[in-house]
Structure formats: C-alpha cells, structure tokens
C-alpha cells in the first residue's frame, strides 16, 4: 500500500434551487459526475429558462455566497456542492423574469353584472338552476323564519333577566359557569340582545368593555357577553374555593 487515503463521497447531492424567475424554492437531487453544461440542461425543466442564458451561483447551507459555477466543462462535484446547499439561477435573457410571481402583469378579465347575469355558463346561473344558496326560496324562507323565531325567544328570555341577579351560563362545548348579571341589552359589537356577566372566577374574556366601549365594570378576565338563551337566572350562591386558606 502506498499510504494514500481515498475519500469516496456520495455520488448524488440534494440541492435547494432558487431563481430570478420565481420566489419559490425547490429541492432536487443531482449526480455529482455530470458537467455544469449537463447540469444546466437538466435545470431547463426545473427552472424554465434556456440553459444558454443561465448564470449559476453557489451558496452554502447557511446561504453564504461561495462562488459562481461558470466552467461548463467542469464536473458538478468539483465544486463544494454539499447536501442542502443552494444554487441560484440567474436568467440573463430577461424574457421571463417575474412571469410566475408578478401578478401585476397578468391581464385581468372583467365583466359587468348585467352581462354576467345573461351568461348561461356562469356559477350564478348554475346555482339558480339547481336552486342552491340564496336561490333556494324555500330554504331561505325557512332560515328567515328560524332567525325570526330565535330573535323572539331571545327577546322573551331578556324579559326575565335583570341586572344584579345571580345566574348560570351554559354555552355548548364549555363548562357551566356561575356569575352575576351586569348588563342586558343591545351592543355595538354585534347585533341582537346580549347579556353581560361577571363570573365568580377569572374565566371570562374581558373587563366589561369591548372594542373600547364599556358596558359594565369588573376585573380583567371576569367579564363576558353571552346570548340570553345561554343564561339562567336563579339562586346561585357564590362558591367558596378556599382562596383564603393556607
């Protein structure tokens, strides 16, 4: 043996590819034994520009610029190309720069509402024919009736809820909570009737104010607004959680 040590590296390398044509990054595996010219030919399908107009820049795995891959006869493996390094393709032709990422260059098709209404192949026309969504008069009437009925039920519930009463709040999917009614009526943040409650524990969402408008006073995280149908008033004594015990 002559004492020389031969280092055999992986014949392929996984490379991150970027280009001036797109803001996207792709990952591909290549053979280290191909020439830079052959490498550019393979990149035509990946990047989308002619091999003759490519300039290649090699970056480290931490995206530090290393050098240009400018020798078409050299092997890809002759450069310090390691797994997860990045090769950036610059398209010198300039004919496609930004074609896939700059939407300002895409011609937009516009149509008036009147013309769209007359089209027989539109989504709106399809929904009309299939009686879907707002074009289903029967369903829309049922939804309107259900909404009106719910509003009446909420109005009736509000009549029995007054400020200062103890209450129990039951919201679907949440544990039952106990507190005191602090507000009853309409609000600016959402339509309909709402009940403001101060919980006995910090299980709420606010301090009695929403979007800068105050509806009642309480400590942060003790206040909440719920729909009237979720509130039951009654004799619900405040529980002793032993907070003063040592």
pLDDT at 178: 96
Q: What is the mean pLDDT of each run of 10 residues along the chain (246 residues)?
A: 50 92 87 93 86 92 93 93 94 62 64 81 76 75 81 88 96 92 95 94 95 96 95 85 49
CATH number for the domain spanning 86: value is 3.10.20.90
29 sits in which H/E element: strand 22-31
pLDDT at 106: 62
CATH number for the domain spanning 188: value is 2.30.30.190
> Radius of gyration (Cα) for the chain, nearest Å?
34
The domain boundary residue, chosen from 39, 69, 91: 91
**Tally of structural domains, the chain:** 2
The Cα 35–Cα 16 span in angstroms is: 18
Q: Which strands form 193-199's sheet, in the order they lie side by side?
A: 223-226, 193-199, 177-186, 166-169, 231-233
* Domain range enclosing 216: 160-233
Contact present, 180 and 238 (Cβ < 8 Å): no
86 within a domain of the structure (yes/no): yes
Closest CA to 40 of 26, 56, 25, 27: 56
User: Which positions ≥6 away from 72 have C-beta within 8 Å?
Assistant: 35, 36, 37, 40
The Cα 162–Cα 195 span in angstroms is: 9
pLDDT at 78: 93
Residues paired with residue 26 on neighbouring β-strands, in sequence order: 17
pLDDT at 147: 79
pTM beyond 0.75: no
């Amino acid at each position: 043996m002559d004492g020389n040590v031969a280092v055999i590296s992986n014949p392929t390398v996984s490379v991150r590819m970027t280009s001036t044509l797109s803001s996207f990054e792709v990952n591909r595996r290549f053979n280290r034994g191909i020439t830079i010219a052959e490498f550019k030919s393979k990149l035509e399908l990946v990047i989308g520009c002619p091999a003759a107009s490519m300039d290649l820049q090699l970056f480290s795995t931490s995206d530090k610029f290393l050098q240009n891959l400018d020798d078409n006869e050299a092997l890809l493996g002759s450069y310090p190309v390691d797994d997860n390094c990045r090769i950036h393709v610059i398209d010198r032709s300039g004919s496609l720069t930004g074609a896939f990422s700059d939407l300002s260059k895409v011609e937009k098709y516009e149509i008036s509402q009147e013309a769209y209404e007359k089209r027989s192949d539109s989504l709106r026309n399809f929904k009309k024919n299939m009686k879907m969504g707002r074009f289903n008069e029967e369903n829309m009437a049922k939804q309107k009736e259900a909404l009106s009925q719910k509003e009446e039920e909420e109005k009736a519930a509000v009549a029995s809820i007054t400020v200062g009463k103890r209450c129990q709040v039951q919201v679907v999917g949440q544990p039952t909570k106990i507190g005191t009614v602090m507000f009853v009526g309409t609000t600016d943040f959402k339509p309909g009737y709402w009940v403001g409650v101060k919980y006995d524990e910090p299980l709420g969402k606010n301090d009695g104010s929403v979007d800068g408008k105050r509806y009642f006073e309480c400590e942060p995280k003790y206040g909440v607004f719920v729909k009237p149908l979720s509130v039951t008033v009654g004799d619900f004594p405040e529980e002793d959680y032993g907070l003063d015990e040592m």
